[in-house]
Amino acid sequence: MCAAHIAIEPWSIPRMTTFTATFARVTGGGMTNLPDDDKALKERIARARFRAFGEEHYPDATFSPRVSYGRVEGWMEAGQAVPAFTRTAGLYERASGTPPFALSQRWIDARARLDPNVIYNATSSNDVIGGSSGSPLLDREGRVVGAAFDGNIHSLGGEYFYDGALNRSVSVTTTIMRAALATCMAWTI
């Protein structure tokens, strides 16, 4: 899948309306790994959605090129603000020694050398669904600033609907990637 997720930093411009532009066509193209019955069903559903909603709702990505626009921002969960960023300090605060919070020895040894304020992950209002992992997160200048790897719990229904107040894409930042390679792996960058 070829995709770019462009997130606008909240501190750089006034609040924007989130919208998504997609270059997918409602043909079922790209779903070659599905059994014929599944492809036919998905095509029927896509055609029905298009008849019902027209261009008001965009089709799913179907492994075609897709660009989504969003803002780096958190969300509200049960009345509590969930921040848009996690930092390296949080990695060590949550480390318990047992999976899924067990750190490798390299990360343990690098703790004193890593800046605790480096942004580790960022959430954005980009609309992502399965197949988006690895898509670049671009800033408004077109620079790669991260890679999408997940969505929050609210994004699970993203194949069928999008809620701009809750759905968030989760990206690992290039800042922590560079810091990890230089500090944990001792690579020269």
pLDDT tens digits, the chain, 189 residues: what are they? Answer: 334 555 544 433 332 222 222 222 333 344 444 455 677 777 787 788 778 877 776 655 555 556 788 999 999 999 999 999 999 999 999 999 999 999 999 999 999 999 999 999 999 999 887 777 888 999 989 999 999 999 999 998 877 788 999 999 999 999 999 999 999 888 776
Element (H, E) at 172: strand 169-173
**What is the model's pTM?**
0.68
pLDDT score of 68: 81
Domain membership of residue 5 (yes or no) is no
Domain membership of residue 146 (yes or no) is yes
Domain membership of residue 77 (yes or no) is yes
Continuous H helices in 81-172: 88-94, 105-110
| 3 contacts 67 by C-beta, under 8 angstroms | yes
Domain membership of residue 46 (yes or no) is no
Q: Measured between alpha carbons, how far is 114 from 89 in angstroms, rounded to an integer? A: 9
Query: Looking at the DSSP assignment, which residues form a beta bridge with residue 148?
Result: 171
Q: Measured between alpha carbons, how far is 132 from 175 in angstroms, rounded to an integer? A: 20
pLDDT score of 27: 34
Domain membership of residue 19 (yes or no) is no
Pairing verdict, β 66-71 and 169-173: unpaired
Domain membership of residue 42 (yes or no) is no
pLDDT score of 11: 36
Q: Cβ-count burial of 48 within 10 angstroms (0-12 exposed, 13-18 middle, 19+ buried)?
A: exposed
Both tokens assigned to 126: 């980009």
Length of the chain: 189
Element (H, E) at 6: strand 3-8
pLDDT score of 149: 92
Number of domains observed in the structure of the chain = 1
* Residue 102 structural domain: 72-183
Domain membership of residue 38 (yes or no) is no
CATH code of the domain covering residue 177: 2.40.10
Domain membership of residue 54 (yes or no) is no
